[in-house]
Structure 1
């Protein structure tokens, strides 16, 4: 009987060791924790933390993701985002989904909303994102996080906030000194854009994974007006989308993976479940192990 128990434990151990951390589902999930990372204007901003169960690794990479919704709606508990976070945690990541100030709730973020207001919206959302990262880093020992291995992710409006925080920090923050205790090792953007790709430099050219439809009707795939507003409209502001960002990364000899969907619109802001194996493989090889890859995939 003891021999049978020993053999069973050996086989279980062999099965786990044969799996690849960060690319395969190697763990069960701990209960999700919900924390308040900041209180602003009387609103408690919360985040949900997904972790692998029975994982002894002390320096785990962190993925922190920001949902979309035009800065007026959306939720961190959207099924797609939850699925992504659970999938990441099963692979050994600490994965976090955050809420943030929905400053355009009940209001337009389209062509009738002035460009200066859009810039302020980007700035406030970028600040919330960085404050959420700061909260997790301050609790790095509790959650066994490696502050030099942080992946920033977002969808649509969330991707705009995240990309601007990472690549356009000089435009977004008057004082960046509060955010010096961690490093981003990669970005994961679903139909996102930034204010100005010219602000991407050798110092902040972080590798990225990008998904975007070539005919996105809200967030430009390359360089174009936000929501395709006419230049005479108040909300006219030019943005640089995934194609323009990756062109700049290519010139700076930085790794990226770009999925371009020919004729696709803004539906590619949704979680790309069919491509999770490729996404997590890129995360592991490039973001975590610093391999060099510049890949463009057309669909």
Structure 2
């Protein structure tokens, strides 16, 4: 491969909220998209996520019905990671759990036939270096931090490790901007990257205010939306991101930096223990039922 235009076959591992969004934008760009799932149940759930998103786009007049149908035809599913052999770019988008990601990257490394295929992990806090070392091609491993919802938000943080080849970094950045229409921020391989290094301490501080009784969640959010022109308050944003995801990210950041502002407060840990994960579970700092 010599330039981003040659990337036409994309693989996505996982079809949760992020994986479904990645599959959708790749298909919209006219690419051949193969999605790896763990079961037929996962496939059905992932397909429904994509179909719901496209139905919304059609309802808003952003996508024609014929376009939707042809887009869906470009997305296929598999439960066999071996089917990724011909992929030129693979983006892993499973849960923020390092052992799981390491296993997937080892498997992908064994099946990909193209030595220049790029292996990207969609992560918001994990070490790209550690993930890269699970392969025999660390120079082709890179981090991508897409933002939810993927079809709407334009930003992607691109994170290379000390072993990532500059050519892979440049090719992926060009592909993201020229083919997928995203805006790229280059970030260092440090837990939190750029955005979460600023965002997570802010969200943890808002949670501590609730935990201590300093202020109610609704008042904190109204203060930041009406007083600081934030489009969404920190507690409602936390619910949207997922409190389990935030707990994992904050924990990883604290483990690396040992900065008290990163440490998840006990309230967050208890909410996660109780299954109060935010919007996706129906209840977090707000009730969505």
Q: TM-score interval w.r.t. the shorter chain?
A: 0.3 to 0.5
Which has the bigger relative contact order, CA under 8 A and spacing at least 6? Answer: 1
Higher strand proportion (structure 1 or 2) = 1
Higher helix proportion (structure 1 or 2) = 2
Q: Structure 1 length as normaliser, TM-score?
A: 0.31
